[in-house]
Amino acid sequence: MRASGKTAISKAVLPQSIVERCEKDPVDGYLTQNDMIDSMKSRRAPISKSTLLILPIVLFLMVFFVVPYVVILFLSFSKEDTTGLTLANYSKVLSDVYYFKILLNTFLLGIGVTSLSLVLGYPCGYFIAKTKSSFKGFFMFLVISPLLVSVIIRSYGWMIILGKTGLINTFLMGIGLIDEPLKLMYNWTGVVIGMTQVLLPFMILSIASVIENIGEELTDMSDILGATKFQTFMKIILPLTLDGIASGCIIVFMLTIGSFVTVMLLGGSTMVMSLLIYQEVLNIMDFNLASTIGTVLLGTSLIFLYAQVKLIKRKGTESLAKV
């Protein structure tokens, strides 16, 4: 039932203040539009406990993650005296072949370290996930233990191993395989070896966690249907572990292109974008150009990772469709 400009509604769902006012109204049980709005406002759900729980981490990320990125983005478009905005910094970085070569070297280093970590980490992760040994926890500790040591200490350790008088060259020369020391340091070889050792645990843990969730009934059914171990791996296990591979590759790749300590200690004159940013800030004090380089590196990294994830997921979907 409806009156002119008023709507009927049960009083049981209304606040007490509105109910009392309705009782004084000549047309009992009818409310104006303003009464309806006041009723809806008063019945809004309170803030949930889950929202209150995530509020601190949201504030933390806003203050220490989002705000710094906004500042960096602002500096990248600012003039040296911060009196105005300009595109000169981006023009300098994007048009100079020197910066392009460094960006290319950075991505090639990331691809090389990620690929080597995947080749070495997948068998190790598969073994840890499938082993029934009582030493499984010990194996997991061996994988995690390098993370307890500073990356600087580990890089210095590789300097002792890879140097001209290091363990590898001393051993190879001692058994007569080489006549002069191999150049394993102050080049890309040393950087790739050092970075792979530093980041390999992340790849192993990402892959092992996914393989552990694959039900044994899938592989048992494959054996019953007459599939070989290789066919089972290619048709079932590998497609189901693509998410773990993608996660591991993203972590290793991003950490590689963002690292400069290992590159600085083992690479010598080898230059990557992260080390260039470090030098621009510490030596030249050019925060605007450093911010621009960082923004370019972040943008190209996100584009590259988006294409990588899309490719991996498409391959996984095609593999599962063929099963």
Domain 89-322: give its CATH code: 1.10.3720.10
- For residue 301, the 8-state DSSP code is H
Residue 30 dihedral angles phi and psi, to the nearest 5°: -115, 145
Cβ atoms of 156 and 190 within 8 Å: the answer is: no
**How high is the pLDDT of residue 11?**
47
CA distances from 297 to 84, 257, 307, 319, 322 (A): 23, 9, 16, 33, 38
Residue 7's SS3 state is: strand
Q: What is the pLDDT of residue 85?
A: 83
Spell out the long-range contacts of 230-235 with Cβ–Cβ below 8 A and sequence spacing 24 or more: 235/319, 235/322, 235/323
Euclidean distance between CA atoms 36 and 8, whole angstroms: 10
Instruction: Express each pLDDT in 243-271 by its tens digit.
Output: 899 889 999 999 999 888 899 999 888 88
Detail the DSSP E strand segments found in the chain: 2-3, 6-8, 30-31
Supply angle C-alpha 32, 35, 40, rounded to 5: 135
Domain ranges of the chain: 2-42, 89-322
Q: Give the whole-angstrom CA distance, residue 14 versus residue 32.
A: 13
pLDDT tens readout for residues 174-195: 998 888 889 988 899 999 999 9
**Tokens coding 67:** 């705000």
Q: Return the half-sphere exposure (C-beta side, CA atoms, 13 A cut-off) of residue 214.
A: 23
Question: How confident is the model at residue 82, as a pLDDT?
Answer: 67
The first and second tokens of residue 248, run together, are: 């591991």
Classified as helix, coil or strand, 72 is helix
Q: What is the largest CA-CA distance in the chain?
A: 110
Q: How far apart are CA 150 and CA 148, in angstroms?
A: 7
Contact call for residues 188 and 295 (beta carbons, < 8 A):
no
Residue 3, strand partner residues: 6
Q: Which among 106, 107, 109, 113 has a CA at the least distance from the CA of 273?
A: 106
**Residues with pLDDT less than 50, the chain:** 1-13, 26-31
Which 3-state string (H, E, C) describes 157-218? HHHHHHCCCCHHHHHHHHCCCCCCCCCCCCCHHHHHHHHHHHHHHHHHHHHHHHHCCCCHHH
User: What is the reported pTM?
Assistant: 0.77
Asked if 232 contacts 222 with a C-beta cutoff of 8 angstroms, the reply is yes
pLDDT for res 6: 47
